[in-house]
Amino acid sequence: MKRLLSMTMIMLMFMLTFGGMAYGSYYPWGRGQANVNTATQEELAWFLGRGSVDNAEQVAENIITYRESSGPLTSTDELLNVEGIDEDTYDQVRLWLKTSGTTDHDPEKTVRPHTDPFFGFGIENYRD
């Protein structure tokens, strides 16, 4: 009995430790972040679209215009000065944007919502 309990505990620890690694590259809404200082308009629009910004292309163009006129952004909080970005919009997209490093744009890792409401997200569009 003691041996069975210890084996069960070892298996449980193993599953908890390494179980999530199989899904490490699964990003249901895409992956990465856009550097607002270096990203192209297309990349910015893609990330803004992930944050449910209705006019993502126009807001991306406004970000580029702002950074060209004001210089590089030192903080993502400066995006509140961009036309088309208010507090609510900023809260929706702030996790997708950064001010340093490279833009990690990988739209191929996006999973589109599945049509079946009982199973949520499907993996038919997921490309590894």
pLDDT per residue over 92-126, tens digit each?
A: 888 888 999 888 876 665 544 444 444 444 444 44
Number of residues written out for the chain: 128
The reported pLDDT for the residue numbered 4 is: 84
Number of other CB atoms surrounding residue 122 within 10 Å? 13
Q: What domains can you pick out in the chain, each with its CATH number? A: 34-109 (1.10.150)
Which residues make Cβ contacts (< 8 Å) with residue 51, sequence separation at least 6?
Answer: 89, 92, 93, 95, 96
**pTM for the predicted model, two decimal places:** 0.62
